[in-house]
Amino acid sequence: MKPMALPVSNLRRIFLHWLGACALLLSLDGWAAEHLRNTPVRVGLTPAFLHDQHGLLEEWRRYLEVRLKRPVAFIQRDSYRETMDLLRLEKLDFAWICDYPFVHLKKQVRLLAVPLYQGRPYYRSYLIVPASNPHTSSILQLKNMVFAYADPYSNTGYLAPRYELFKAGEDPAKFFSKTFFTWSHRKVVEAVAFGLANGGAVDSYVWDSLAVVQPGLTAKTRIVSRSPEYGFPPFVAHRSVQEEEFRVFQKVLTDMTTDPAGQALLKRLNLDGFSRNDPKLYDSVAQMMRAFGEE
């Protein structure tokens, strides 16, 4: 039995419906692309050295807008936890966070890029005391004194010094007579410099950068010891960010070394560039966290 041939009018109707559907899909694709171009890229920044550099941040924001061809919104908070919460709630697309929060958030975020500092993707924790104290040579000599931490989710400003005490058989919760959080590394330097604390733990990148722009402040402190190297605080992307957006933002960061405007911004950021890297860079932080029953 031969199949029935459809009337020409029906074929024409089917073809027109198909054309209409294709046009609708193209229209929706165009709308989606236009919507994406007009939707700001939300970038979170934790409180660190950059927090006080509003002019620099505005230049960097405009630089990213030009190269991403989209609006960019920098979202700053006063504690690491607040930025972590925004990532958990999918209210940020990207963020520059500490290595400690990165390990905490490994199920919510992907490693996007790692800054290069002094040519390498590493930094350290500095133990500092007032410059008027020439005798202290170890954190163990600060027992029963006042100590300044940066933030409860800072590696170099909280986790690393506590781990140093833990390795020495001391209880970090009972070792000092008093501890307090300054909520930024810069303020740790200020607390030690002005005698509010007998010692403090600070991000090497922050202390070194302050030594360039505010040498009078860092001169009031003395570096007692330097920790082992840790993976530099990374740029991350929320796992909901689409692959194309991820690759574009990553390329913009890693290409900053290839144009004069990017090079000028990197110089002001006191960085050498951004690199693609492996999450294993942060394994030592995870190891310290496990010592305290975290991770």
Q: For residue range 116-170, what is the model confidence (pLDDT) as tens digits? A: 999 999 999 999 999 999 999 999 999 999 999 999 999 999 999 999 999 999 9
pLDDT in tens, 243-290: 999 999 999 999 999 999 999 999 999 999 999 999 999 999 999 999
**Ranges of CATH 3.40.190.10 domains, the chain:** 39-121+231-291, 125-227
Split at pLDDT 50, 70, 90, the class of 20 is low
Tokens coding 120: 């390498």
DSSP helix/strand/coil, 237: strand
User: 125-227: CATH homologous superfamily?
Assistant: Periplasmic binding protein-like II (3.40.190.10)
pLDDT of residue 291: 95
- Is the confidence at residue 199, as pLDDT, over 70? yes
pTM of the model: 0.85
Long-range contacts of 132-139 (CB under 8 A, 24+ apart): 133/198, 133/222, 134/222, 136/199, 136/224, 137/224, 137/225, 138/224, 138/225, 139/164, 139/165, 139/199, 139/224, 139/225
What percentage of the chain reaches a pLDDT higher than 70?
A: 85
- Is the confidence at residue 28, as pLDDT, over 70? no
- Is the confidence at residue 30, as pLDDT, over 60? no
pLDDT in tens, 31-48: 344 445 678 999 998 866
DSSP helix/strand/coil, 288: helix
CATH number of 39-121+231-291: 3.40.190.10
pLDDT in tens, 117-128: 999 999 999 999
